[in-house]
Every structure is written in structure tokens, then in C-alpha cells.
Structure 1
Amino acid sequence: MKAVLGLEDGTVVKGKGFGAEGIAQGELVFATPFTGYEEALTDPSYKGQILMFTYPLIGNYGVSYENFQSDGIKANGFVVREICDHPSHHKSKGTIHSFLKGEGIPGISSIDTRMLTILTRKEGTLRATLITGDDDGEEAVRLAKEQPTISELDLIGEVTSAKPYQIEGTGKRFVVMDLGVKQNILSCLSKRDVDIVVVPAGTSSRQIQEYEPDALLLSNGPGDPLQAKNAISVVRELAEEMPVFGICLGHQVIALALGARTYKLKFGHRGANQPVKDLRTGIVHITSQNHGFAVDPDSLSGTGLHITYINVNDNTVEGFKHESLPILSVQYHPEASPGPRDTEFLFDIFVKTVEDA
């Protein structure tokens, strides 16, 4: 099947199509893990983006359908150097091609992903259009240029849950505001016997209080944190009422709610090998990350928030804690999926913070 990828700067790359025939639009972003394509493709944080893996061979262990982080693929499209059409794993139930085709998602292979990664690192994240079933490069570039930027899109509304639901536990009750929550965040809380109530992103602070929660956790999710207007308002209203925790987008939402600023990174952090330093202990943890925005450290003055973690590669903010309120959050993903689980202990800290509050 013919396929073409066009970027807003005029770059055109032709390759072989796989998955579904059609058109996908979004930011072209690269991720660096060797494995974990099932988890990454189904991560709601990739909504609005065309995902490119830098590792050259994808699909060699097939698709098991056991590692999904949501109810299906959330990335708009998939870009790889080479796909494996004969996977070998005892849990495999299909190929990467059949997986994408069944979900209606187009993919492109047999292209130079290294060149595209270097271009992205040099120029920054670019809007892109992926067409399968045709290879009209001019049309792909035109569509890439005409699409809105990610900051103009309400992507949270496309991935949040339609209605509240509960995952029962005998411990403290956490209300999780679903901005695009990954399944393993909920699994990590359940392992600690937390009583979980998941609510849609548009839920008001009054509705949250009706659940009589012991804590509020704001999840990961896609897009610009400034689009999370309701979540920002909720945190402002509840910050002094209960412990508040955040992961990834939730971390950025808390910062905005308390008066800090966020900004768009040049090409983001997406992978399973990002080094993060704990400023209290000096220990460096290897973390899983997926974000294109970050908290401006210069804007934290006067918010009561103090930086607890930084990224060793570029010194960006990876976590903070409030000086007097039980509020703490991290930019990285302690639940991993995919990636190392070095920092899953953070969920123990969440629970203990509530117990001590």
C-alpha cells in the first residue's frame, strides 16, 4: 500500500503503508523505548499526535491485548522504520498491522525515522499529515500546514471518561480526575487498596466533594495544559480542602492552578529512559515520560511550590511539593507502562500523605 508523510516545513517522505487506509493528522513526535508499543499506542496522552518510534523494528513480539492503557489506540497515526509481520511470542494474538487496521489507524514504514528524529530535534515538533492508500506529497504538506496547532485543540474532551465509575478498595478514597488516565495508574492505586472514584474532566469541585474523598489525583492526558480549564479551577477550589496529587498533565494543571506558568518544549520528552534527580536525596531515577509541555521554574516564586525533581538531561522541572499544603506532583510517569518501575514508590508516598494529613 502506498503511503506518504508530509510535514509543515515541506518535508515529504514516501514509504509503505500498513494498518488502515486513510489520513491521519497531528504533531509528529518521537519516542525512544525499545519495547512498549502496545502501551504507547493506547496511551491517551498521544491523542492528537502521530507517534514515531526511534527503535527500528516494531512488532516483533506481536500484540497481546494485555498491556493496553485505555480501550484502544489513541495515537492518530504510527511511523516506524520497519514492521515485523511474523511476530514471535507465546501471548501474541496478532500483528501490528492487523492491530492498527482493526482500530482504523494508518501507519507508514520503510522510511528514514532517524532523519525525521534529527529534523524534529533541530526544528522542533512539526505538524504532519500521514496518508495511506496514496502518496500525494503536496496534498500531505498542504494538510499539515492547514491543521490547527495542538494548543488550539481540546483533546482532553476526546479521551476522558463519559461518566464516573468506581474501583472499590478498603483504603482511603481517591477521586481521580480523568484527563486521559492510563490504566496502570489505576492499577497502581488498586494494588495499594485505594478506593478509587474516576470522574470525567468536566466534573465540578462540588460534585467531587459529594464523593467525600480523602484526596484528589489529576491524571496524565493530551495537549496543552491551558486547555484543562475546569481541572485548573477545581484545583484552585480544593487545594486547601484535601491532599492533591498530579501526574504528567495533572502536574502541569496544579502548577497553573497555583499561579505558575507552563511552556511548550521544543520536542518533548517521550521514552522509557529519562534520568530524573531527586533533589532531596541526590538519587537519579530512570523514568518513563510522555509530555510536550513543562512547568516554568521561574514562575514558581510565590506559589508555595518547591521543586523536588529535575530532569538530568535539560534541568526541566520533574516534580514539586507545596511548602505547607499536602500537594505534590511529578512530571514523569511512576506507573511506567512502558518503562522502568523505579519510581512506583511514589504511589506509596501518595497514600502515606493522605494517611498523615
Structure 2
Amino acid sequence: MKAYLVFEDGEVFPGTWIGTPREMAGEVVFTTGMTGDPEVMTDPAHAGQIVTFTYPLIGNCGPVPEGEGVAPPRCAGVVVSELCAEGRVGAWLDCHGVPGITGVDTRRVVRKVREKGAIRGVITSTPAPRVEAWPDPRSLRWVKETTVPDRIQLSARSPEAPHLVLIDLGGDASTLAHLRRQGCRVTVVPFSTPPGEIEELAPEGLLFSGGPGDPQALLPYLEGWRPLLHRIPSLGVGLGHQVLALACGADTERLACGHRGNNHPVKETDTGRVWITSQNHGYTVIASSLNPGHWKVTHHHVQDGSVEGLAHRLLPLSSIQFHLGNPAAEKVFSRFLHQVKAKKEVEIHG
């Protein structure tokens, strides 16, 4: 069945339907990873986005995971050059009502996104669709749609385990899994939870998760979070990294075409060591907006020099732009847990 990827400027890319044949509009982005296709499609940070895979053959690394407890795809749609039928990606997308298109010259699509930056498109059955309302990638809608609906409490084996409150901005399951592996007791709360309710949970540490969209959409919530950051050790990851910087007076901006993939090189400032990291974001903290008396930049992106990690000089705050669960994040997370435990000892013995 014929399908088309049509950009908002009218350029058309023909192909063939996969997944559910229904019209869907969204911001068109691309991911550069060579593996991890299901993880890309299930990442909530792709909410509202049509994801183009730069790797030419998708679905050839085995079937997509299915069954109870497996996260559904969260992207608006997918664009691939060639699809391996044995991987059942098309059937999996169709099961969840997600449209896609194959047989597309994805190299041309990526070049267009790189040249145009933020640009929207629609997967459709006609080369001349009428889109009544294009989705706004800067809207708070995407965080609202991906945050947890209610509070979740997860116990730990040890009664001495640190209690962390995870403020969910639309993060993926890997962040929570990492906290559980580290032996933490975790309470997950929706991003809109009033600060007073967060304090009542008596957190020993706060973690602001990754998520979709523009960090400046969360500006109305920063005033309520700021007092917490002065009292409670906090770590930001992905979108949470950008939000912590905004809350402490810095600014953010949109990247030309985003960092999406599991192969992004990041340099640790202190050691000069370069790590390959997994990332999924379209915004960055503006380096010149950081007060050098307050912030230390701990990590840079090798390719464009953008800020990838921060540590506050006066407050127990740190943040990383890349995902938890890889070696580049271990030192940052260990420092965060040290701050949590140190404050706990002060409260008990002080």
C-alpha cells in the first residue's frame, strides 16, 4: 500500500505503509544508532516525533519484545529505508496503532532535517494532505502524556537504602531500573506533584528524569522546585539536566538537529576521557548562560561542544545530558549518592 512522508514545506518522500495505515503528523527527527530499535521506539522522549532510522536495515537483530510488561512504542511514527519482515516490527507497530513508512531514501530525509532543523511532517496516504493543526514540539503536552499518572512506591532490600523521589518528566524505564540495581528505595511522582507533597515524602535525594519536549515548557514549575534544590541533593538526567540549569538561572536553546542515538561521544572535563553515550534530546544548556562561580561544566559533547554535564559549586546538584546506566554516568551517580548519604548522616547525627 502506497504511503508518503510529506514535510510541512511540501516536499514529498514516497514509500510503503508499515504499522497502522493512518495519517499522523509530528516533528521529524533522526536517530543514529545501529542497534536498539525497540528501545528507540519505546522511549517517551520521542513522544510527538516521527523517528527516521539512519541505519538502512531495521528489524534484522531479532524480533521485537512482546508480552506483558513490555513498553509500547511512544513515537508518533517511524521512517525506515528497509524493513526485515522476520523482526515483526511492522506487526508490533500495528498492534499499538503506530504508523510507519518503509522504502524511503532516509539519507535524503536526514540531510533535510540537518539543513532545516526543527521541521514537521506527516505520514499519509496522499502526496497532498491537508493538515489542519500541526503538533507543537515545544508544548507541555508531551510531558503530560508521558509522566506517570499516579505515585509509585518501590521498596529496597535494605532498610538503610537511600530514599529517592523520582520526579517523572516522561522518563524511560531504564532510569528506574538503574536506581533499583543501585539498591535505592524509590518513590516515583508525576511532574505536577505539588512541592509540599514531595517534601512530605521525606526524600533523601531528588532525581529529575529525562523526557520529551522543550524544557522551557516547564518554567511554571521551577519556582516551586527551587527551594527543594537548596535543601535536598538532586540529580538531573536528560530533560532533567536542562530543567535544573533553568531553575538555577541558566538558559536553554534548541540544537540544530538534536542528539539521538547510542553512539554520541562525550568528553569528561577533568580527565579528558571520551565516553560513547546514549542520548535522545533536541535542546541544550547554553554554556554562556552558566554562572562560572556557581557551575562547573563536567562533560562536553565532542562533536559540537555542547554542555553534557554540570556540577553546582555551592549546592548538592549535578546533572548529565546522557542516559544513566553507562560508564560515563557512573561517577556522576556515585557522587550524587555520596551527597545523599552524607546529608542523611548529618541529619541523624547533627
Question: Residue type of the partner of 2:225?
Answer: V
* Mapped pair 1:176 → 2:166: yes
C-alpha deviation, 1:102, in angstroms = 0.3
Other-structure match for 2:243: 253
Given the two structures, how large is their TM-score scaled by the length of structure 2?
0.92
After superposition, what is the alpha-carbon deviation per residue over 1:95-136, rounded to whole angstroms, capped at 9, x for unaligned? 1011000000000000100111111112213111112xx2x1
Contact 1:296/1:317 (8 A) holds in 2: yes
* Mapped pair 1:109 → 2:102: yes
Other-structure match for 1:92: none
Other-structure match for 1:91: none
> 3-state SS of the aligned residue for 2:71?
coil
Contact 2:178/2:324 (8 A) holds in 1: no
C-alpha deviation, 1:25, in angstroms = 1.2
Other-structure match for 2:328: 343
Question: Residue type of the partner of 1:305?
Answer: W
C-alpha deviation, 1:213, in angstroms = 0.5
Match of 2:269 among 260, 279, 284: 279
Runs of 4+ in 1 over 6 A off after TM superposition: none
Contact 2:25/2:135 (8 A) holds in 1: no
Shift in alpha-carbon separation, 1:244–1:231, aligned structure 2, 3 A: farther
Cα separation, 2, equivalents of 1:153 and 1:353: 31
Match of 1:319 among 300, 309, 320: 309
After superposition, what is the alpha-carbon deviation per residue over 1:283-331, rounded to whole angstroms, capped at 9, x for unaligned? 1111001100000011112671221110010000001000021100001
Cα separation, 2, equivalents of 1:303 and 1:28: 38
> 3-state SS of the aligned residue for 1:209?
helix
> 3-state SS of the aligned residue for 1:75?
coil
Other-structure match for 2:12: 12
After superposition, what is the alpha-carbon deviation per residue over 1:222-281, rounded to whole angstroms, capped at 9, x for unaligned? 000011235423431211111011000000000111111000111000011111011011
Other-structure match for 2:190: 200
Contact 2:293/2:313 (8 A) holds in 1: no
Contact 2:174/2:324 (8 A) holds in 1: no
Question: Residue type of the partner of 1:112?
Answer: D
> 3-state SS of the aligned residue for 1:62?
coil
> 3-state SS of the aligned residue for 1:281?
coil
Listed as ranges, the gaps of 5+ residues in structure 2 are 344-350
Cα separation, 2, equivalents of 1:183 and 1:146: 31
Cα separation, 1, equivalents of 2:77 and 2:166: 28
Match of 2:116 among 115, 123, 134: 123
Other-structure match for 2:347: none
Shift in alpha-carbon separation, 1:178–1:272, aligned structure 2, 3 A: same
Aligned residues: 338
Q: Which moved more, 1:248-257 or 1:149-158?
A: 149-158
Contact 1:127/1:149 (8 A) holds in 2: no
> 3-state SS of the aligned residue for 1:251?
helix
Q: Which moved more, 1:347-356 or 1:241-250?
A: 347-356
Other-structure match for 2:278: 288
Other-structure match for 1:332: 322
> 3-state SS of the aligned residue for 2:23?
strand
C-alpha deviation, 1:66, in angstroms = 8.0
Match of 1:354 among 305, 324, 340: 340
C-alpha deviation, 1:7, in angstroms = 0.5
Other-structure match for 1:338: none
C-alpha deviation, 1:72, in angstroms = 1.4
Cα separation, 2, equivalents of 1:330 and 1:278: 11
Listed as ranges, the gaps of 5+ residues in structure 1 are 88-94, 336-340
Given the two structures, how large is their TM-score scaled by the length of structure 1?
0.91
